[in-house]
Amino acid sequence: MSLLPCRLDAIGAVGIARCFTFGGHFNRTLYDPDVPPRTNLTKEQYMAESAKATTINHFYEKLLKLSAMMKTAAGRRAAQQRHDFMLQYLEQFHAEWEGRR
pLDDT (tens digit per residue) in 45-64: 777 766 678 999 999 999 99
The angle at the Cα of 84, spanning 79 to 85, to the nearest 5 degrees, equals 100
User: What is the percent of the chain where pLDDT is above 90?
Assistant: 71
Burial label for 27, CB within 10 Å (0-12, 13-18, 19+), is exposed
Average pLDDT (23-52) is 85
* pTM for this entry: 0.84
Averaged pLDDT score across all residues of the chain: 88
Average pLDDT (8-18) is 93
- Are the CB atoms for 7 and 70 separated by under 8 Å? yes
Average pLDDT (21-34) is 94
Range of the domain at 78: 3-97
Name the nearest CA neighbour of 59 among 2, 12, 95.
Answer: 12
| DSSP class of 50 | T
- CATH for 90: 1.20.58.1910
If one counts the domains in the chain, the total is 1
